Amino acid sequence: MALVTTKEMFEKAYKGGYAIGAFNVNNMEIIQGITEAAMEENAPLILQVSAGARKYAKHIYLVKLVEAAIADTNLPIALHLDHGADFEICKSCIDGGFSSVMIDGSHHSFLDNIALTKQVVEYAHAHGVTVEGELGQLAGIEDDVNVASHSYTDPAQVEEFVSKTGVDSLAIAIGTSHGAFKFKPGQKPELRFDILDEVSKRLPGFPIVLHGASSVIPEFVATVNKYGGNMPDAIGIPEEMLRQAALGAVCKVNIDSDLRLAMTAAIREHLALYPGDFDPRQYLSPARAAIKDMVKRKIVNVLGCSGKANPL
């Protein structure tokens, strides 16, 4: 099995009423935890790399680790650039072996977003790579960009954006946001399903992407705080809302914060219980196991993609 693009994955996911998990990866333990879970669930997978991850681990290390994961699991895996900010980073990832890229032109004007996205699509498609675009802006922090409030996607713009750019999937803003603090304390989590429904009607059969889809499960925040952490109350997107979205047009669900939280809780707990430990293998083993458990939980509770990997 070689790297796959998202094209066939999304076609099957759309028809089958499930979504593919797109998990952010930064090192070997995270990649192993995610892929072990997907292998046991026989689930298709998107591993995604941010600009920050490339800076931290180096592009070549992440590509080689993902290649190793494919050889180890024989799973259909897409390697995807998360939040590509400009043409250059998309080109570098396409030239460097990724099978999918996101060009995030959501901070630009509608027309500039179309022009930039189209430029990336032309280069990517000429190299057999699929492209995700974005319309609307999520609140929250991602890389160096801190957006205070949502700019919900305007459904009236989606047909023109997709037809003029040729993108293969579209990320939309319906109230999810990046990071662990998605709603104010006491605020009831809500998503704009009316926008999702209208976008789906205007783009029949077209795969929609949800960013900022971590659920920030309270027991993990509690574990972090029990073992010396100091996280304020955090509220994420309820899993049942994400499951509902995945039954419809949402084919890709982005999850990073829940993995960070699971990993951090496991490492804090281990070091609190074994304060004399200084062997990274001893505390990274439970961290990897925690990632694996979290990904299995997502496959079952949110994505519904168990058993959908082979044949893709």
Q: Which residues in this chain contact Zn ion in the complex, by CB under 5 A?
A: 211, 254
Q: Which residue is nearest to Zn ion (CB)?
A: 211
Q: Tell me the HSE value of 158 on the side-chain side, using a 13 A CA sphere.
A: 25
Cβ proximity to ligand G3H, 82 vs 269, nearer residue: 82
The minimum distance between CB 176 and Zn ion, in angstroms, equals 9
Shortest separation between residue 254's beta carbon and ligand G3H, angstroms: 7
- Judging by beta carbons within 10 Å of its beta carbon (0-12, 13-18, 19+), is residue 88 exposed, middle or buried? exposed
Residue 271 beta carbon to ligand 13P: minimum distance, rounded to whole angstroms: 24
Beta carbon nearer to ligand 13P, 83 or 308: 83
Residue whose token pair is 């993108």: 167
Q: Retrieve residue 127's tokens.
A: 């190299």
C-beta closer to ligand G3H: residue 93 or 309: 93
Task: Work out what residue 32 binds among Zn ion, ligand G3H, ligand 13P, none; the CB cut-off runs from 5 to 8 Å by kind.
Answer: none
Which residues contact ligand G3H by CB under 6 A? 24, 50, 52-53, 82-83, 142-143, 178, 256
Instruction: State which residue, 202 or 239, has the beta carbon closest to ligand 13P.
Output: 239
Query: One of 82, 168, 256, 258 is an active-site residue; which one?
Result: 82
Q: What residues line the site for ligand 13P (CB under 6 A)?
A: 24, 82-83, 178-179, 211-214, 254-258
Task: Give the distance, in angstroms, between the CA of residue 143 and the centroid of all CA atoms in the same chain.
Answer: 14
CB of 179 to Zn ion, least distance (A): 10
99 binds, among ligand G3H, ligand 13P, Zn ion, none (CB under 5 to 8 A by kind): none
Q: How would DSSP label each residue in 38-65? A: HHHHT--EEEEE-HHHHHHH-HHHHHHH
The partner in contact with residue 213, picked from ligand 13P, ligand G3H, Zn ion, none with C-beta cut-offs of 5 to 8 angstroms by kind, is: ligand 13P
Picked from ligand G3H, ligand 13P, Zn ion, none, the partner binding residue 293 (CB below 5 to 8 A depending on kind) is none
**Cis omega (within 30 of 0) for bond into 311:** yes
> What is the Cα 225 distance to its own chain's centre?
26
Closer residue to ligand 13P (CB): 232 or 276: 232
Which listed option, ligand G3H, Zn ion, ligand 13P, none, makes contact with residue 255 (CB within 5 to 8 Å by class)?
ligand 13P
User: Over 291-302, what HEC string results?
Assistant: HHHHHHHHHHHH
**Distance of closest approach, residue 186 Cβ to ligand 13P, in angstroms:** 20
Q: How far is the CB of 104 from ligand 13P (least distance, A)?
A: 9
Strand partners, 80: 48, 100
Strand, coil or helix: 79: strand
- Mapping DSSP to helix (H, G, I), strand (E, B) and coil, where does residue 282 land? helix
Q: In the complex with ligand 13P, which residue's Cβ is closer, 1 or 53?
A: 53
Q: Is 82 annotated in the active site?
A: yes
Mapped onto helix, strand or coil, the DSSP state of residue 129 is coil
* Count of residues in the chain: 312
The torsion angles phi and psi of 296, rounded to 5 degrees, stand at -60, -45
Nearest alpha carbon to residue 143 among 107, 115, 167: 107
List all residues 6 or more positions away from 188 whose beta carbon is below 8 Å from its beta carbon.
Answer: none
Out of ligand G3H, ligand 13P, Zn ion, none, what residue 143 binds, judged by CB under 5 to 8 A for its kind, is ligand G3H
Residues with catalytic roles: 82
